[in-house]
Chain A
């Protein structure tokens, strides 16, 4: 099926426009704040070096130029990966964020692998057993999971694991083990890295540490998957093509999977893509509770510290992630459905 560039280009340009909007909004945010933007950008400095820091910030932001030029400059800086230097960490914002993003993404991806597959399966099962006690039970489970505050679930799991197994060590990897086995991150995705290096002990360690938080992050896609898959399957089962397939004698299992389920895939892709983008923040919160490194802990450590460049960097990153994932999900959805002439 030919993927026409037209749709992809249109969708991409729109996403870029929205990202630019986000960047502009972030800048205006800084500008509207009470006080001197340069003073804020420099991290509200005090003491002897304050004047120099403020002057540097002024130059960096181009505050002597008119506002539109400032904004353009800022956009250019963001797109070239120059988002300033974190006041708290004394490192370029883009470097810190990239490090944190890989950690959080690893958690998010593992969580979605668990949550989506299980959720969709249970949802289909629920639709097939519609209006039985099992179906009702699954629906209650789903709506509960989708509404449970993840930080609370995380605390509950930590407490339960501590009481049951005595395990309290979280974080991404056991540092001593990593040093002993000579583990060195390459991509930043530790599961992948340890596999590439063939470092099985570290792989197991990383996996064991990622599973509890991943299970918590997975509750949302699990609940959503159950509800969406059930609703969508129930809808496609009422379609004329399912009726015709049954009338032509197609086997029950084929009807369910090859006819009804196949019909739900584009919508599922879109909904779960949206949820994936949305869950980044969820993963950040869970990271904070579990004390894992990642975007979440980055944000948590600078609360109340007026590290403004990093805050803006985080805001742009998380928002851009949302937009990009959403756009990808839309394009993917259109590619799956042969009727959509792209």
Chain B
């Protein structure tokens, strides 16, 4: 694996908001700076509603038109978004691909898998006949551990949840994109399938040299696959570090609390929940967004917002206490 000094995905002060019926903007992602290197697996972790999917959608280029963006997104060195100028859609799907959260809904219910592959190949400009599509799709389906003869002529509802997700992964890969955003790829599956799919993602990533951006609310999953984790809270990345570092030496109080909610095999301990609720967009408190729920808050926290600072190596955190 060649480690480029240039990141393949980079965002600068990226903020995203949604317009409501009265044309007010509700910011849900605020000032995010990401630098993701080629071949890396980066994981975005956070509670529900903190803006993970919004960030992911921005990277894929499928934000709805009533979304408002500020800042820059640069992918493979090419600037695709700069202050609400979406100029990316021409190559959408060829550079960044997408693994959906709920494959049952993401595959078209009225088309067989074969037909859906055909449309994907057409989109890449490949003019293949039915046999050509079947051959090409079979190779990818086998890669994701599906039996092409069984799957190709089925409708999505005839497949089980795990098979649907494998088919969706196959489609995501078949676009030829080298960067894949997976938005909670396992949250609609049961525990056993979850592990299988995670394993599959790892395998694909290694075989095809893919840069994977995983979105999840589950720290355990994040630890299984990823190299670096960004912890998101109220639209901001509040801590970012390699996996081991996060688990061994969490710096942000939110990360620490989050870790205490994770069950660890073989260790009997009291599982905690984080008191209070995450703020909703538009109700972000002034200063540090976490301070109303933070057990260690100081006066400064409610007045000034901390910025993401490097504490060592690849470990960044935004907290006044560090």
Contact = CB atoms under 8 A, between A and B. Distances in A.
B105 A239 contact: yes
B221 interface: no
Interface string B88-118: 0001111001101010011111110000000
Contact of B92 (A240, A244, A249, A258): A249
A244 B168 contact: yes
B175 interface: yes
B111 A246 contact: no
A339 B108 CA distance: 11
Contacts of A241: 105-109
Interface in B305-320: none
A338 B119 contact: no
Interface in B116-154: 119-120, 122-124
Interface string A247-287: 11111001000110011010000000000000000000000
Given A245-B119, A248-B98, A250-B93, A338 B108 contact: no
A337 interface: yes
A59 interface: no
Interface residues of B, number: 29
B172 interface: yes
B155 interface: yes
B123 A250 contact: yes
B60 interface: yes
Given A246-B92, A337-B110, A258 B119 contact: yes
Most buried by A among B91, B102, B123: B123
B200 interface: no
A240 B157 CA distance: 15
Most buried by B among A240, A254, A265: A240
A337 B62 contact: no
A251 B118 CA distance: 12
A258 B119 CA distance: 9
Contact of B119 (A254, A263, A265): A254
B301 interface: no
A243 interface: yes
Nearest to A247: B98
Given A244-B98, A244-B106, A265-B110, 10 more contacts: A240-B106, A241-B106, A244-B168, A244-B171, A245-B108, A245-B119, A250-B123, A263-B108, A339-B109, A339-B155
Interface of A: 239-241, 243-251, 254, 258-259, 262-263, 265, 336-339
